[in-house]
Structure 1
Amino acid sequence: MSVFLAFLFGALAMLALLVLRARTLTFPAQKPGDYAGKGPAFDIRRHLNGPILCEGVIYGPTGRVASRFVADIEARWDGNTGTMAEEFRYDSGATQSRCWNFTLGNDGCIRAEAPDVVGSGEGWQKGSGVHLRYRIRLPEESGGHVLDAIDWMYLLENGTIMNRSQFRKFGIPVAELVATLRPKEAS
C-alpha cells in the first residue's frame, strides 16, 4: 500500500505544480496591470476605429498551423460605445462574419458582445495592452463547441496591433490565434 500512496502523492504534487505553473507563468497569467504605464497608450476608440486589415493564422492543439485568414474590419465609435464588423476569409475558402458591440467604462473596463459569444466578454485596456475574456460558440461545421477565449492585443509604436488569442476547452488549450491589425490603406 505504501508504494501506491507514494505514487499518488507524487502524481498529486505534479498536478499541483502544473496548476501553479499555468496560473503564474503562462499566457493566461498576464494581467492588465502588467502593461499600465507602458506606451504607446492603447485607446480602443482610436486604434480600433475605421477600416482595418487583419491577417493571421490559427494554430491547432499540436502547434501546427490549422488555418490562415484575412479579415476586413469596420469599427465605429460613438463616445464609449462601439461596433466592430468583421468579415473573415479563410484559406479553405470559407467565410465568416461577426459583429461585436463594445462598451468602454471610464476606468478602462470593456464589455463585449457578439452573436456567437455566450453571455458577454469582459476586459480592460491599460497602457499598451488590451485584454478580453469571453466564451465563444464555434460554428456547427466546426463542431459547435463552446470555448473559453483569452485575447491580448498589444499596440506597437507604428500603430500596428498584435493580437494573440488562446482558446481552451475544459482548461486545455485547443487553439491559438496570432494576427496583426492595422489601418487599411486608402485605395
Structure 2
Amino acid sequence: MKLFLALLVVLLLLLLWRPGLGFRAQRIGDYAGTTPGFDLSTHLSGKMISEGMIYGPTGRVVSRFVAEMNGTWADGRGVLSEDFTYSNGGVQRREWQIELGEGGTFTATAADIIGPAPGQQAGAAATLKYRIRLPEDAGGHVLDVTDWMYLMENGTILNRSEMRKFGIKVAELVATIRPAPEN
C-alpha cells in the first residue's frame, strides 16, 4: 500500500510539473495552419470589451472583471489601453505598447510588466510570455504569465492565461475580447 501511494504521489508530481502536458504543452506551431488568421493590428484595433474571470489556486473564481479596451496602430506599432472594473469595485488601467516583428513575432511592454514580453502569432492564435508585478493591494507579488489568445470565426478572441509563482500555478484567467457595440 505504501508503494502504491508513493507511486501515485510521483505520478501526480510529474503531471503537475512536466511542461509537456496540459496548458504548457502548447506551441505556436500547433496553430500555424488554423483559420481565421489572427493579425494583432487588425483584431486588437478599435474599441473592444473584455469580460473575464480569474481562478485562484483551488480552481474557484476569485475575481470577475469587465474591461473597456482600445487599440490604435501605426507603422507596425500599437497601443492597447485596458480599463478594468473588477467585481469588488476595484479599477485598474494598463497600457500595452506593442511592436510587430518578423515572422509573426512581436514584443509588448507595460508599466506593471517586468522587461519586454516576447510574443508570437500563427494561424488563429497568439501567445505572450511575461512577468507581472501585481498591485500592492493584491500582494505585490511577481508572477510568470503565459497568455494564449485564440481568434474565433465571429471575430471574438478567447484569452486564457496561466500565472505561476516559483513554477507553481497560482491563478488562471479566462476572458473574451470582442468589438464594442456601436452606440
State the TM-score bracket (shorter-chain normalisation): over 0.9
Partner of 1:26: 22
Partner of 1:153: 149
Partner of 1:46: 42
Letter in 1 for 2:84: F
Partner of 1:59: 55
Aligned counterpart for 1:17 among listed residues 4, 14, 17: 14
Q: Kindly tell me: are residues 89 and 31 of structure 1, through their superposed partners in 2, closer, same or farther at Cα, counting changes over 3 Å? A: same
Letter in 2 for 1:17: L
C-alpha deviation, 1:12, in angstroms: 10
Q: Kindly tell me: are residues 179 and 12 of structure 1, through their superposed partners in 2, closer, same or farther at Cα, counting changes over 3 Å? A: closer
CA offset digits 1:58-103 (Å, max 9, x no partner)? 1011000001100000111112110001000001000000000001
Partner of 2:73: 77
C-alpha deviation, 1:123, in angstroms: 1.1
**Structure 1 runs not aligned, ≥5 long:** 1-5
Aligned length: 180
C-alpha deviation, 1:13, in angstroms: 5.8
Q: Distance in 1 between matches of 2:58 and 2:118?
A: 28
Q: Distance in 2 between matches of 1:18 and 1:133?
A: 22
Letter in 2 for 1:173: K
- Determine if contact 2:15/2:21 at 8 Å carries over to the other structure: no
Letter in 1 for 2:52: G
Partner of 1:119: 115
Partner of 1:183: 179
Q: Distance in 2 between matches of 1:36 and 1:140?
A: 39
Q: Distance in 1 between matches of 2:69 and 2:137?
A: 23
Letter in 1 for 2:145: A
Q: Distance in 2 between matches of 1:11 and 1:170?
A: 23
TM-score, structure 1 as length reference:
0.90
- Determine if contact 2:105/2:120 at 8 Å carries over to the other structure: yes
Q: Distance in 2 between matches of 1:11 and 1:54?
A: 40
Q: Distance in 1 between matches of 2:140 and 2:14?
A: 32
Which structure's CA Rg is the greater one?
A: 1
CA offset digits 1:135-158 (Å, max 9, x no partner)? 000000111000000000000000
1:90 corresponds to 2:94: no
**Structure 2 runs not aligned, ≥5 long:** none
